[in-house]
Chain A
Amino acid sequence: MAHHFLFTLPKKAVKNYELLEHTADIGIRVKASDLAGLFKSAGLAITDISAEKLKTQYPEKHKIVIDQKADNVEELFFNWLNELLSAGAAEGLIFEDIQINQINENFIDAIAIGSDIRNYKVNTEIKAATYHQLKVQKTDLLWQAEVIFDV
């Protein structure tokens, strides 16, 4: 479900991911101290990979509620990224921030805050996240995820 209303956000530089080499597609690795940080960084990586901000002509921000359930954390991660891609494409939005209200390994309730796609130059179209070599793991100190996007 989409809720639209107006508010402003502080500008942030996000680079909480690294690129993995893949012949045809684009892979990323994300690390974070908790699940919320992991999901947020991966979600914002989509924006960083695909779009470049131009002048803001359409200042209105749009909030999209994203709730996902899954049997395990990897499926949840897959569903989360694809829901962001799908909702962004359907609504014509580029997500600039993400607020995670509640998360565990089987459930996420979040709000993605998007800006009109016309404020951006979109360089790379990410079609979807794939299960190929998908990994979401917890080490002693960190959560780490790897995912390959079909581009």
Chain B
Amino acid sequence: MSEGKMPDNIPLEKIDDFRWRIPRSYKPGMRVDGLIYADEKLLKDIRQDKALEQVANVAFLPGIVKASMAMPDIHWGYGFPIGGVAATDPEKGGVVSPGGVGFDINCGVRLVKTNFQYDDIKSKLKELVYALFSDVPCGVGSKGDIRVTSKEEKQILTKGSKWAVEQGFGTQEDLECTEEYGAIPDADPDAVSERAYERGRAQAGTLGSGNHFLEVQVIDQLYGREECDSLGLDLGQVVVMIHSGSRGFGYQICDDYVRTMMPCLKKYGINVPDRQLVCAPVNSPEAQQYLGAMRCAANYAWNNRQCLMHLTRKAFEKIFGMSWQKMGMSLIYDVAHNIAKLEKYEIDGKEKTLCVHRKGATRAFGPGHPALPQKYKKIGQPVIIPGDMGRNSYLLVGTKKAEETFYSACHGAGRLKSRTAAARSINSDMLLKELESKGIIVKASGRATVAEEAPQAYKDVNDVVDVVHNAGISKRVCRMRPVGVIKG
């Protein structure tokens, strides 16, 4: 079908090899320019769908500062493009938009180290993948073995990962290596609907489905020797990457607040070209309620990934017969890529607290940033970029230069083909065989997921990471290749 596949005619001005501008003049109502981080090669794909139009639409948001930005993995979303970054100034009527965070609030990734070299685990890899698949609950609507009561669920919403650590599912050190130390303050459990509680209760400690995954990966390329040494990473080393979010709990909060904010457009006289950009001034009661609920979902997600890591460590212990501490399974970092945060920036010589939306974009604080734990003050915040299941994933660190993107980088490879197109053209059995011949073992709960998530459905993450590295908004540390993949 032709919908969405018409190449766009949006004017783009080249700033340099990695930066492109959509001038404000493109559409009446844009308050700032659009700013796209991409190279010519990626732009060809980006122009195939409606992502650039969405960048222009986000520029309508009241109080938006500097530009409506897009990372090189940008693709067509709903409302915001996936890969979009927008900061608004609450003092100038700046808004928060639930659509600028998305339904999967605090969808994010964590990267766990091991002391193993690939050769150490090679003979047990299949066994390990099967153990992870059976012990880490995944798939649509999957329910967790980690059961929580209503009272405990409420605690999770304010304590985040700390709840899991209190249950013995991790350590204090894990919290230090998690964005916001695993719990963003000012979460308001009273702003959460009964339905959200209901949907969240059964799903604590579950991976989910779609593009969520758990991967055993091997480092196949080092870029930053200093950072690798500091993190204790070397060529051939085995790491584990977990990609998951806030599950049905987060979807319900987004749904609830898209509905309740709809009258705000009229009430506050806001004009946006797409209703999914529905929003309210950050300082309004509606926005404060949303932010309170959104933070609950963010904390739910951090706790979820903490539980998933615990189950992963347990599965490793079962297969290799030693403690996770002995296997060196410490957390490198956990970072969100669907979230809105209040962060301080200097704008025109004045310090401002801005509301930064990252919709499919990863926070990338540079060296010395006050929010970073001591161990990352020198090298900068680890930025974890998952790719597709056949090629690579990356570890980068934030840079001081990333201040220009409100310390944001890409969040993945970015989809190229729709799920339906992928499912039509890809035979999942053949794909699984092909991956196996490359040394990649895949266990998925849904056959359709395999085809939909095929490497061919994604852009090459190497191209995407090249742009953020070359533009200077993050710095490559090392690259991984998958050897074991668990898909929901």
A and B together in one complex: yes
Which residues of A are at the interface with B, using a C-beta cutoff of 8 A? 19-27, 50, 71, 75, 78-79, 82, 85-86, 89-90, 92, 117, 121-125, 127-128, 130-134, 148, 150-151
- B contacts, CB < 8 Å to A: 1-5, 49, 51, 75-79, 82, 99, 102-104, 139-141, 195, 198-199, 208-210, 248, 251-252, 254-255, 258-259, 262, 274-276, 278, 415-421, 446-449, 452, 488
In addition to A26-B419, A125-B209, 12 A-B residue pairs with Cβ atoms within 8 Å of each other are: A20-B4, A22-B4, A23-B76, A24-B76, A25-B418, A50-B140, A89-B248, A90-B199, A128-B103, A132-B275, A150-B78, A150-B102
- Closest Cβ of chain B to A86, distance in Å, is 6
B278 touches A131 (CB 8 A): yes
Q: Is the interface of B mostly helix, strand, loop or mixed?
A: mixed
Q: Which residues of A contact B274 (CB under 8 A)?
A: 131-133
Whole-angstrom distance between the Cβ of A151 and the nearest chain B Cβ? 6
CB contact between B275 and one of A23, A134, A150, A151 (< 8 Å): that residue: A134
- Find B79's partner among A19, A121, A122, A132 (CB 8 Å cutoff): A132
- CB pair B1 A123 closer than 8 Å: no
> Which chain A positions have C-beta within 8 A of B447?
123
- Give the complex CA separation of A70 and B292 in angstroms: 25
Residue of B nearest to A129 (CB): B255
Q: If the complex has contacts A24-B77, A124-B140, are A86 and B276 also in contact, measured as CB distance less than 8 A?
A: no
A64: shortest Cβ distance to chain B, in Å?
12
Q: Which of A21, A121, A124 contacts B418 (CB 8 A)?
A: A21
The answer, among A21, A22, A50, A131, for a CB contact under 8 Å with B258, is A131
Are B104's CB and A24's CB within 8 A?
no
Q: Which residue of B lies closest to A123 (CB)?
A: B448
Contact B276 A132 (CB under 8 A): yes
Check if A21 sits within 8 Å of B78, measured CB to CB. no
In the complex, the number of residue pairs spanning A and B with C-beta atoms less than 8 Å apart equals 122
Partner of A21, one of B103, B141, B420, B446: B420
Top-5 shortest CB links A-B: A132-B78, A131-B275, A130-B78, A122-B140, A123-B448
Contact present for B198 and A21 (CB under 8 Å): no
Select from chain A the residue with minimum beta-carbon distance to B263.
Answer: A71
CB distance from A91 to the nearest CB of B (A): 9
Using Cβ atoms and an 8 Å threshold, which residues of chain A touch B208? 125
- Provide the bound-state CA to CA distance between A85 and B140, in Å: 13
> Which of B102, B141, B262, B418 is close to A22, meaning CB atoms less than 8 Å apart?
B418
* Contact status of A128 and B255, CB under 8 A, knowing A22-B4, A92-B141: yes
Q: Measured between alpha carbons, how far is A24 from B75 in the docked complex, in Å?
A: 8
- Is the beta-carbon distance between B140 and A75 smaller than 8 angstroms? no
What's the Cα separation between A124 and B450 when bound, in Å? 11
Q: A117 vs B248: C-alpha distance in the bound complex, in angstroms?
A: 15
The 10 sampled A-B contact pairs (Cβ below 8 Å) are: A20-B3, A26-B420, A79-B259, A90-B195, A122-B141, A124-B446, A124-B448, A125-B140, A132-B274, A132-B276
Kindly state the separation between the CA atoms of A25 and B419 in the bound complex, as whole angstroms: 7
Contact B275 A27 (CB under 8 A): no
Chain A positions within 8 Å of B448 at CB level: 123-124
Contact B421 A125 (CB under 8 A): no
Assess whether A20 is in contact with B1, with CB atoms less than 8 Å apart.
Answer: yes
